Chains A and B, each alone.
Chain A
Amino acid sequence: MTNNKYKGISLDKASHFDTEALSMLEEIMEDEFPDLIQVYIADSDPRVNALQQALDAKDCTQLRHISHSFKGASGNIAALPLADLCFKLEEDAHGDSLENIPSLISRIDNEYQSVRSILLSLVS
């Protein structure tokens, strides 16, 4: 899963999660916490590519839908910075200009990779 592209990503938990909410989540889910992480990752992995495809197709509706879903799911696993980025994308996709969107998608991609790595480290 390590990839050159993501070398040097930050794995500091506190800068990517609401740590308090995350530990509560672990507490609630008990032995199903790893399942939750697996499901989240399985759902989210295709989302970055899907966002890129929607942008290429200039499909704003699709951009909004994916970022909305991504935001909800990420919020629920306490990945608040990622959820915030998704929210920003959802908002920008309402506007006329797609100018800021490529950079937003790239930031979401980076943030997601950090979240993903941290989550996996928690359950391995």
Chain B
Amino acid sequence: MKILIADDNTSDRLLLKKIISKQGHTVIEAENGKLAIDSYVKEAPDIILMDVLMPELDGKEAAKEIKRLAGEDLIPIIFLTSLVDAQSLADCLESGDDFLSKPYNHIILKAKIDAFVRMRTMHATLQKQRDTIVENNQHMLHEQHVAKAVFDNVAHSGCLNAANIKYMLSPLAVFNGDVLLAARKPSGGMHVFLGDFTGHGLPAAIGAMPMAEIFYGMTAKGFGIRDILREINLKLKSILPVGFFCCAAVVDLSFTKRSISMWMGGVPDCYLLSDAGREFKSIRSHHLPLGVLSSEKFDDEMTDHAMDIGDRLFMWSDGIIEARNAESEMFGEDRLLSIFQRELPTDDLFEAVKSHVSDFVGESERDDDTTIIELRMVEESELEQSELVMEQGTVTGPSDWSLEYELGVDSLKHFNPLPLLMHIMMEVPALRVMSGQLFTVVAELFSNGLEHGVLNLDSSLKSTPSGFAEYYTLRQQRLDELKKGFIKVSMKHNSIGGRSGIFTLSIEDSGPGFDYPDKFVQVPSESQKKLCGRGIPLIYSLCHSLEYVGSGNKVVAEIHWP
């Protein structure tokens, strides 16, 4: 250790120097307070022994200045004093760290120096550790922000900004254990997913990544919400540790049918409110959260609810209900419900819920993520076109190809080929931007082939409500009993210089065919009513040409782009 002795008394200095040198320390000397400060700056000693009364600048003033210069560093200053009254000694501890009375006792001096060396080492270790912690923390925050950017791109993308959605995500940590996903379906309509993982922060958020990928990927490929739920459940079951799961409220919204199908597992009740606010319906969760049950035991049953234009569905994570105020009291379902009983204009409800919760919580610490979403039934035309932006200059992907795909009885009974077919079409960038249109065409023609062709069901059955039910009972029954039959799907794509192209789809079934008219006109004649039952006018409007061939058991559709 380097020790500075500041004393105007030469003999005292000499004695101290001797004692300290003998203890193995290096000694530097100063004759007054001013020189002591200079010496501190120049030599950076570890400990200072300072006489209280000195010419030029006395010990206490010098000590104050040195302490100021040292800032966060600990520089122990021991005052040398021949004063003996308690007050004077106590005064030493105001500007210094300790005192040593004259005449010097070399044993006590050694003990004090040793003690301050320990203290200084400890202080240095502490500072180093603090700096390391600060550094690590900054590093961690930086990593988290980068990861959050990636996470947000995956988990909070989709069509959350659609005109019929209002939402709020308030993360407790940088990462959020709550997940909010929304995607337009290629066939029209929308999938919305509100998830609440066990816990919060990074461990909770990490499960959201594969979940969001499955949700968006499968929705874009035309999978139904039940298949998506099964896939997510299976994925979470396999990746999450025991005791971790994801509560969820999942909505399949149909703009054309003006209805929603809901699946809820472990989330608080959702509220469905008619536009005028007169009718109020609370929807309860009936399932276990995602990631708990095996695929065999998983129940994908959905409940259907009608929604008129302007009707709203409110969903939330339990962070809203369990939000606590300063008295540790929970916000609770009663408070939430009471907001809806105040007959506020329906437009103001979302903000009202937000502000009530935030007023309730006040300054107290949040202990869970809170997420709210309001979903409104609108005309689909009110929403922005959900066209995928086609990247400029991408001529990658197949341009000239064809395939034939035949499904036998077993496949027809147990397999939905639409996602696979969509997947193949979506490899062509130009077809990707018209995925909704293509999905409708493929889905409609395939189900015609299956239901009217292979299963020989009469579409006129569907014209009455009771017939509708009968139709589907019969469909299931015939499918179960099916012994022979097939559907052959042929697809072909050709592109001209990558600027335009023709996609040809043909679907042939093993059924007897039907009596089809030669031409299609915009206003269907009496003879074309059969086609209405088969949804053909809609398909026709989407295709460049649509042709039945042979006995009517084969249909060929041509779609041109751009």
> Residues of A with Cβ closer than 8 Å to B?
21, 24-25, 28-30, 32, 35-36, 39-40, 42-43, 65, 68-69, 71-73, 75-78, 83
Which residues in B have their C-beta under 8 angstroms from that of A69?
A: 8-9, 53
> Residues of B with Cβ closer than 8 Å to A?
8-12, 14-15, 18-19, 22, 51, 53, 82, 102-104, 106
Q: Within the complex, which residue of A28, A35, A40, A71 is in contact with B106, where a contact is CB–CB below 8 Å?
A: A28
Q: Within the complex, which residue of B8, B12, B22 is in contact with A76, where a contact is CB–CB below 8 Å?
A: B12
Which residues in B have their C-beta under 8 angstroms from that of A42?
A: 10
A-B contact pairs, 23 of them (CB 8 A): A21-B103, A28-B15, A28-B106, A29-B15, A30-B18, A32-B18, A35-B14, A36-B11, A39-B10, A43-B9, A43-B11, A69-B8, A72-B82, A72-B102, A73-B11, A75-B82, A75-B102, A75-B103, A76-B11, A76-B102, A76-B103, A77-B11, A83-B103
Asked whether, in the complex, the Cβ of B104 is within 8 Å of the Cβ of A76, the reply is: yes
Which residues in B have their C-beta under 8 angstroms from that of A65?
A: 53
Q: Within the complex, which residue of A35, A72, A83 is in contact with B12, where a contact is CB–CB below 8 Å?
A: A72
Which residues in A have their C-beta under 8 angstroms from that of B10?
A: 39, 42-43
Kindly provide the distance from the CB of A37 to the nearest chain B CB, expressed in whole angstroms. 8
Question: In the bound complex, what is the Cα–Cα distance between A106 and B425 (angstroms)?
Answer: 118
Smallest Cβ-Cβ distance to B51: which chain A residue: A72
Which residues in A have their C-beta under 8 angstroms from that of B82?
A: 68, 71-72, 75, 83
Kindly provide the distance from the CB of A53 to the nearest chain B CB, expressed in whole angstroms. 17
Question: In the bound complex, what is the Cα–Cα distance between A28 and B107 (angstroms)?
Answer: 11
Which residues in A have their C-beta under 8 angstroms from that of B102?
A: 71-72, 75-76
Question: In the bound complex, what is the Cα–Cα distance between A68 and B12 (angstroms)?
Answer: 13
Question: In the bound complex, what is the Cα–Cα distance between A65 and B12 (angstroms)?
Answer: 16
Main SS at interface, chain A: helix
Asked whether, in the complex, the Cβ of A28 is within 8 Å of the Cβ of B14, the reply is: no
Smallest Cβ-Cβ distance to A77: which chain B residue: B11
Which residues in A have their C-beta under 8 angstroms from that of B106?
A: 24, 28
With a 10 A CB-CB cut-off, give which of B15, B19, B103 has the most chain A CB atoms. B103
Question: In the bound complex, what is the Cα–Cα distance between A83 and B10 (angstroms)?
Answer: 17
Kindly provide the distance from the CB of B81 to the nearest chain A CB, expressed in whole angstroms. 8
Kindly provide the distance from the CB of B23 to the nearest chain A CB, expressed in whole angstroms. 11
Kindly provide the distance from the CB of B379 to the nearest chain A CB, expressed in whole angstroms. 98
Question: In the bound complex, what is the Cα–Cα distance between A40 and B11 (angstroms)?
Answer: 5
Which residues in A have their C-beta under 8 angstroms from that of B12?
A: 72-73, 76
With a 10 A CB-CB cut-off, give which of A40, A76, A78 has the most chain B CB atoms. A76
Which residues in A have their C-beta under 8 angstroms from that of B22?
A: 28
Question: In the bound complex, what is the Cα–Cα distance between A69 and B11 (angstroms)?
Answer: 11
Asked whether, in the complex, the Cβ of A76 is within 8 Å of the Cβ of B15, the reply is: yes
Question: In the bound complex, what is the Cα–Cα distance between A4 and B102 (angstroms)?
Answer: 34
Question: In the bound complex, what is the Cα–Cα distance between A31 and B272 (angstroms)?
Answer: 99
Which residues in B have their C-beta under 8 angstroms from that of A28?
A: 15, 18-19, 22, 106
Which residues in B have their C-beta under 8 angstroms from that of A71?
A: 82, 102
Asked whether, in the complex, the Cβ of A72 is within 8 Å of the Cβ of B9, the reply is: yes
Kindly provide the distance from the CB of A45 to the nearest chain B CB, expressed in whole angstroms. 12
Besides A25-B15, A32-B18, A78-B103, 6 more A-B contacts (Cβ < 8 Å) are A28-B22, A36-B18, A65-B53, A71-B82, A76-B15, A76-B102
Asked whether, in the complex, the Cβ of A39 is within 8 Å of the Cβ of B103, the reply is: no
Question: In the bound complex, what is the Cα–Cα distance between A24 and B103 (angstroms)?
Answer: 12
Question: In the bound complex, what is the Cα–Cα distance between A70 and B102 (angstroms)?
Answer: 12
Question: In the bound complex, what is the Cα–Cα distance between A97 and B11 (angstroms)?
Answer: 32
Asked whether, in the complex, the Cβ of B14 is within 8 Å of the Cβ of A39, the reply is: yes
